[in-house]
Structure 1
Amino acid sequence: MGAADRKAGDKAVRYVGKIDRGIYSCVAGDILTDEVVITDERVEHIKERHPGDYERFVGYIPDIIAEPDYIISANKDNTAVILKEIEDNGEKFKLVLRLKVKADPVEYKNSVLTFWHIGNVTWMKSLKNKKILYRRE
């Protein structure tokens, strides 16, 4: 593990960036940290469910979480579904982020649950069928 990696319980975690807690307050008002991590287990999940996406696009995760285009409602509490279009190449992404709030165990962190490259149809359906909590201006 590198300097930016840590252990959280038995899970190896990697620091992937920071969020603006003001933006994400539309999901939860009591977010405790701006640091975001991803566990090795979640990396394996992404690699299995969305082949090639992690390897090709992992470098976009800091931008996706720092400057989301949209945050839409999730099916779980304290969870943000983020939509982001990378402007220099038009690629679109969906990322699910679990936010650490006051009621969570001390060892919890803001954590990427999953992430994948999406097409325009999925992008449009997500915006049409889910409640938009945040829109970048």
Structure 2
Amino acid sequence: MLVKVGEISLRLIQLLGLTCAPGTPIFMGPSNIEHMKNKHPDDFNTYHDQIPSILSSPDYVRKSSDGSIEYVKEFRYNSEYVKVAVRMSGGYTWYLRTMYVLNTNRVNNYIQKGTLLKY
């Protein structure tokens, strides 16, 4: 069963030059949940309830070379940056693909290079 976990915002569309409409839904399905539980179990257990917040108010965003959108949020109480990646598939439907904690040095490098854009 698909669950709506967020929407593509106008701000994101403007920052990344996306062509979808504001309010386009982002869904998460059982296979996405299983992927995160299997590949990133600790991260999923800690942050899965934060997915809507990460999608609605990220600290940074970027469009990757494969067309996916990466939302990054800093959780100061854990000193961790969490990435949620979404990708369009199935003909204009956006799906949450994965979520995991990023290496802080990598995030800082992306910020310095301008690869991650301040949301």
Q: Shorter chain as normaliser: what TM range?
A: 0.7 to 0.9
Offset of residue 99 of structure 1:
4.5
More helix by share: 2
Q: Scaled by the length of structure 1, what TM-score is found? A: 0.70
Alignment of 1:124-135 (within 5 A): 124-128=108-112, 131-132=115-116, 134-135=117-118
Which residue in the other structure is 2:103 paired with? Answer: 119
Which residue in the other structure is 2:6 paired with? Answer: 17
Structure 2: which 5+ runs fail to align?
A: none
Q: Against the structure 1 CA distance between its residues 112 and 51, is the aligned structure 2 distance closer, same or farther, given a 3 Å change threshold?
A: same
Structure 1: which 5+ runs fail to align?
A: 1-11
Q: Scaled by the length of structure 2, what TM-score is found? A: 0.78
Identical aligned residues as a percent: 19
Which residue in the other structure is 2:45 paired with? Answer: 55
Alignment of 1:93-112 (within 5 A): 93-99=82-88, 105=91, 108-112=92-96
Q: Against the structure 1 CA distance between its residues 19 and 89, is the aligned structure 2 distance closer, same or farther, given a 3 Å change threshold?
A: farther
1:55-87 CA-to-partner distances (Å, cap 9, x unmatched) read 22111111111111111230212x211211134
2:45 aligns to what SS in structure 1? helix
Residue 83 (structure 1) aligned with residue 72 (structure 2): yes
Verify the 8 A CA contact 2:13 2:19 in the aligned structure 1: no
Alignment-mate amino acid for residue 43 of structure 2? D
Counterpart of 1:74 (choices 64, 82, 106) is 64
Structure 2 Cα separation of the partners of residues 34 and 23 of structure 1: 11
1:27-81 CA-to-partner distances (Å, cap 9, x unmatched) read 343213432211111111111111222122111111111111111230212x211
Residue 92 (structure 1) aligned with residue 81 (structure 2): yes
Which residue in the other structure is 1:30 paired with? Answer: 19
CA RMSD, Structure 1 to Structure 2 (Å): 2.5
Q: Against the structure 1 CA distance between its residues 96 and 75, is the aligned structure 2 distance closer, same or farther, given a 3 Å change threshold?
A: same
